[in-house]
Chains A and B, each alone.
Chain A
Amino acid sequence: MKRKLFPIALLAGVLFARGAASAQLVVGQYEDEAPLGTWNTFGAPSAPSVGLGGTQFAWAWDVSASLANPALLLSLPRLSASLSASYGAASMFRYALVNTGPVESISNLSAGVFGIDHGGLAYRRGAWAFALALAAPESYGRPGIVIADGGYQLTFEQTGYLRVLHAGVARRLPWGLSLGIGLNYATGKLDRTTVEQTADILRVVTITDDKHETFQGLYANAGLTWAATAGLTAALVVRSPYVKEGAAESLLRYEVPVEGTDIRIDAAATNTYRQPWVVGTGLSYRLAQAWSLAAEAAWFGWSRYEATSFDEPLVRTFRDIVKAGAGIQYLARAGSSGQPSRIPLRVGFSIDPQPMAAVHSTYLRLTFGAGLEFRKIAIDLSGAVGRESGSGRDLRAGRIALSCRYIFRE
């Protein structure tokens, strides 16, 4: 599940045509703890969901659905396994050192992260269904910086991730209802290092700012699904608030070896990030034998977000937001009538407002995807390209996801 950070996104060069945009300006988006791409993460959508406007509340393709709506486990095959990976990239303003003064760039910088999104098993027996999955829904990577100018050098690196171990259970109820509950144990880390060095013939001055933190938290998610008709499913989902909490260490150091100067400030504390409630609703509808659509909306209670760093509250002026998405799928068929292959084709869009109160920054994403389902194996490849409005900084975000699923028993 380890994620690897690329200093500059290769994919971003393909997806995002970048001009000589002015430096990133608006305060608020990329605080150190912000997930790369968007604040609004919920679950770990696999490729089919990505292609269908990010929808995942009212339809399921694999076990990853349980991280958003465990009730959907009852719609999965009797026993299946799935694995999903993606490459995500985002350009950004205001993060750490860049464009806040010490380091300026003439255009937006991008960071790209490749990683496994989830892997897991889903099992259904009678009126019950179960899921076990490991997911990595968030990355805290940032573009690395190396600046050298004569005897002066500055390097900056930030990496980090969040992993979630998920167990879900679902029960079929009367009247077309299904109820599911999931327990999630989240662990992660965030590492950030800045080294600034000035050298001349007399001395080398090195300033090191090193911060490391690990965190964990426990939260629940639940979903209620109602199969209103054979083709219409409605869902209500909720994710509990929780606190990512853990040990943080900091070292601030000033060294001039030739003079024997070595000044250190070591610190240790417990950092906390109080994650908000998420409540969502969605529906999926089969229009015809080959056509279906899904739509959903989720409310993120960011106004109650709180973060503390080394025993001090961080200023995060956030507002509640509603994220929405929708998509349509066409299911083509190919091959012989005995063992036909199914080829789902999907398009969608999502509207993803960010929580900063000062600037109403919103990502609009177009999504697309296609898959191949043959016998017990299915693979799916999807993409999303997003453009931000509100900051005036022409930010972009994109993702390509690849998922595969194997059905042990139908």
Chain B
Amino acid sequence: MRLMKTTAIVLGLAALAVLAPPVAPAAGQADQIISVAERDFAAAGLGRKGLDLLMRKDGRVYIVASPGEIAALAALGVGYDFETGRFLRTSSEGLSAAGGINGAYHSTMELETDLRILERDHPGLASVLEIGETLEKRKILALKISDNAAANENEPAVLLTGCHHAREWISVEVPYLFGKYLLDNYDLDPQVRALVDASEIWIVPIVNPDGLEYSIHVYRYWRKNRRANADGTFGVDINRNYGCAWGIDNEGSSGYPGSDVYRGTGPFSEPETAAVRTLFASVGIDFRALISFHSYGQYILYPWGYTAAPAPEDAELGTIAAAMAGLMAAVQGTVYTHGQASRTLYVTNGDTADWAYSLRGAPAFTVELQPVDIDHGGFFNDEAAIGAVFQENLPAMLYLARYALDHPLPVRPRIVERRDRARRATAAKTKPSVRPAPG
């Protein structure tokens, strides 16, 4: 939580300041609690700046600051620490995930327990729904958060998913903690309350429970689901199994069942992707945005992943991604590289973001969480870092949810499956490396 004075932060904040107006009002940016040394506070004359002072303690002044105010402090050269995480009600008290073979990370059973706790503790605001069942008969659960969660009010909705890839344990925690944050702070934070009252936040923390359990109990680096393939190998990469550009080439996915990026026998052949399709394609829910959390690499990626050609709303997607990256960097200085997926990381086909965007025109993002590379953990994150990773993603998630609230989707669904079918017919089989690569 130390002050970051890097060029990246300054640029990020500057970019945010420039870009924010056209894409989102100030309401899309979360205030942060920061602390400043009393000596610096006095030297910079901050007492006369009209800042929202929270308290003074142990030689520091605690301030509720907007991103603009934080940027101003940075410009003045005033040192500050982010303290929001110390005040948010996102403690692990009472959580089932504490302990166990996977430490503070959720297993499938622990997650269901904790989702049910949220539902019980927040009647009316939280509803847990079973959106599918896996090959090994595990439930795929969704948490719906809204002011009247049991009812379908056709409010603007956003979908956050985690754990398409089994080994990316941190991707379960970030969307889960976001749901917990919204519920815990509904009565405390008017901005949270306004967001929840006006929208539906759908969270599927574990899309791939079978794979996650295998990763926990058998092989930590397991990525796919647990499909028993015809050739004796196991698993389909369910983030290559969606119906947009499915199997269009063998670079963005593989037709070899033993591959870590095996796309399956057909689009939506897997119960996990079918469950997400059923939810996101539902005509009764006005989904306007999606984030699919993964790890690692610190990226914010947007369509297209299957081609280097830009998406129709490439500029807008890029603007949103830049805003999210700026907000994330402002928390603790973590730099998330943003850009079109195929140009920024690698080519993928049949992935979640491409499909969600192609289906509804919804801004859809793949967020690759910390760490930045294998030297710093790869698919491993220290248990103690879960909270920090969530905190740095929190303003971006709030921002996108508010963006969705303010931006109805254009009525122009994109149909690319028909075109892709012809192209993938010519695809040849390849067997890519099974070495771990960013999610």
Question: Does B associate with A?
Answer: yes
Q: Does A287 contact B (CB under 8 A)?
A: no
CB-based A-B contact count at 8 angstroms: 103
Minimum distance in angstroms from B11 CB to a CB of chain A = 26
Residues of B within 8 A of A209 (CB): 219-220
Residues of A within 8 A of B213 (CB): 315
Interface string of A251-273 (1 = CB under 8 A from B): 01010101101010111010000
Indicate which residue in A99, A198, A207 contacts B220 across the interface (CB closer than 8 Å). A207
CB pair A102–B232 under 8 Å, yes or no, is no
* Total interface residues in chain A, CB < 8 Å: 41
Nearest A residue (CB) for B436 = A198
Complex Cα–Cα for A266 and B104 (A): 10
CB pair B101–A104 under 8 Å, yes or no, is no
Report the interface size class on chain B. Answer: 35 or more
Question: Given A207-B221, A263-B381, are A313 and B109 neighbors across the interface (CB < 8 Å)?
Answer: yes
**Mind listing 11 A-B residue pairs with CB under 8 Å?**
A96-B219, A99-B232, A100-B234, A205-B374, A207-B221, A258-B375, A261-B376, A263-B377, A269-B101, A311-B99, A312-B101
Question: Given A25-B228, A104-B258, A259-B375, are A310 and B220 neighbors across the interface (CB < 8 Å)?
Answer: no
Binding site for B on A (CB under 8 A): 22-27, 96-97, 99-102, 104, 152, 194, 196, 198, 203, 205, 207, 209, 211, 250, 252, 254, 256, 258-259, 261, 263, 265-267, 269, 309-315
Question: Given A25-B228, A104-B232, are A311 and B100 neighbors across the interface (CB < 8 Å)?
Answer: yes
CB pair B377–A309 under 8 Å, yes or no, is no
Residues of A within 8 A of B231 (CB): 22-23
Minimum distance in angstroms from B121 CB to a CB of chain A = 22
Complex Cα–Cα for A155 and B250 (A): 30
Minimum distance in angstroms from B95 CB to a CB of chain A = 14
Q: Does B41 contact A (CB under 8 A)?
A: no
Minimum distance in angstroms from B118 CB to a CB of chain A = 20
Residues of A within 8 A of B382 (CB): 263
CB pair A312–B100 under 8 Å, yes or no, is yes
CB pair B219–A198 under 8 Å, yes or no, is no
Residues of B within 8 A of A311 (CB): 99-100
Complex Cα–Cα for A196 and B222 (A): 13
Minimum distance in angstroms from B169 CB to a CB of chain A = 10
Residues of A within 8 A of B136 (CB): 315
Complex Cα–Cα for A382 and B231 (A): 38
Indicate which residue in A97, A205, A250, A261 contacts B218 across the interface (CB closer than 8 Å). A97
Residues of B within 8 A of A315 (CB): 136-137, 213
Q: Does B434 contact A (CB under 8 A)?
A: yes
Complex Cα–Cα for A249 and B376 (A): 25
Residues of A within 8 A of B383 (CB): 265
Residues of A within 8 A of B110 (CB): 312
Complex Cα–Cα for A277 and B233 (A): 35
Minimum distance in angstroms from A259 CB to a CB of chain B = 4
Which 8 A/B pairs are nearest by Cβ-Cβ distance? A23-B232, A310-B101, A265-B103, A254-B380, A101-B234, A259-B375, A25-B232, A267-B101
Indicate which residue in B214, B221, B380 contacts A263 across the interface (CB closer than 8 Å). B380
Complex Cα–Cα for A100 and B103 (A): 24
Query: B222, B231, B234 — which one has the most chain A CB atoms within 10 A of its CB?
Result: B234
Complex Cα–Cα for A118 and B231 (A): 42
CB pair B380–A310 under 8 Å, yes or no, is no
CB pair A22–B232 under 8 Å, yes or no, is yes
CB pair A101–B435 under 8 Å, yes or no, is no
Minimum distance in angstroms from A155 CB to a CB of chain B = 13
Chain B 207-228 residues near chain A, CB threshold 8 A: 213-214, 217-222, 224, 226, 228
Minimum distance in angstroms from A34 CB to a CB of chain B = 14
Nearest B residue (CB) for A103 = B219
Q: Does B127 contact A (CB under 8 A)?
A: no
Complex Cα–Cα for A187 and B328 (A): 53
Residues of B within 8 A of A267 (CB): 99-103
CB pair A203–B233 under 8 Å, yes or no, is no
